[in-house]
Amino acid sequence: MRLFDLSHPIETGMPVYPGDPHVSIDAVSTVSTDGANVSSLRLGSHTGTHLDAPSHVVDGGRTVEQLHLELLHGPAHILQADPQQRTRLNPRALQLADFEPLPAQLPYIVCIATGWDQHFHTPLREQHPYLSIELAQALWKRGARVLGIDTLSPDPTAVQPQTFPVHEFWLGQDGIIVENLRGLMQLPVQVNMSLLPLNIRGGDGSPVRAVAWDVLPDTPMRELK
């Protein structure tokens, strides 16, 4: 079985959501001087490819260690946005009509592939497409409980005032959001996926090592560069 990494590497100085803590990885001991390499990690709970627990926007919502792990490991459905979306510079709300016809029943994990992960290391990352609330509601109605996307957020980022309607709806229903996935455009429609977080007690979010495997026959996936 081959695993396909859908996570951005965590590294010093990597992009973060506006206002989030910057990432710093520093050596605190080395093999040559101390007999072992040990690093200090400074990062926010929503660094890189990560999940949002309900407590991210819901007072009293479920925290990371309380999440049902069976929701985060298993079959996933990939919805691909219009390829032209990858070249548009003005953020646009993705509508239900962009993905019709949707299956009547979806697995717990549904990921929206926009191709915007190609802009993760450029200022364009904040000009990403996002979900309309109608699309989020339709995915939930069809059985999705984990919403993945290859952008900073399923809500718009570079707007004022900042609002989070999809976060409030999805996490308010006790769902889970996974942001900053990469390589989703390379995946077939149906795939298996694992999106497991660190076991952070009281955590509002956590980096994940997102992987996919066991694609359907005759639908090969390419290696990520």
Query: Is residue 150 situated within a structural domain?
Result: yes
Mean pLDDT across the chain, nearest whole number?
92
Number of structural domains in the chain: 1
Q: Which amino acid is located at 77 in the chain?
A: H
Domain extent, residue 93, equals 4-213
Does residue 224 lie in a domain region?
A: no
Question: Among 150, 91, 156, 94, which Cα is nearest to 118's?
Answer: 150
Q: What CATH code is carried by the domain that includes residue 197?
A: 3.50.30.50
Give mean pLDDT, residues 141-160: 96
| 45 assigned to some structural domain | yes
Over residues 63-85, the pLDDT tens digits come to 999 999 999 999 999 999 976 65
pLDDT digits (tens, 9 = 90+) for 84-139: 655 566 678 999 999 989 999 999 999 999 999 999 999 999 999 999 999 999 99
- 155-174 average pLDDT score: 94
Burial of residue 149 (number of CB atoms within 10 Å: 0-12, 13-18, 19+): buried
pLDDT at 48 over 70: yes
Residue 27 falls inside a structural domain? yes
Q: What is the pLDDT of residues 188-203, one digit of tens each?
A: 999 999 999 999 999 9
Is 66 among the domain residues? Answer: yes
Residue 12 placed within a domain: yes
Let me know how long the chain is.
225
The pTM of this model reads 0.92
The per-residue pLDDT for 90 is 65
Residues above pLDDT 70, as percent of the chain:
91
The two three-digit tokens of residue 24, written as one number: 């710093």
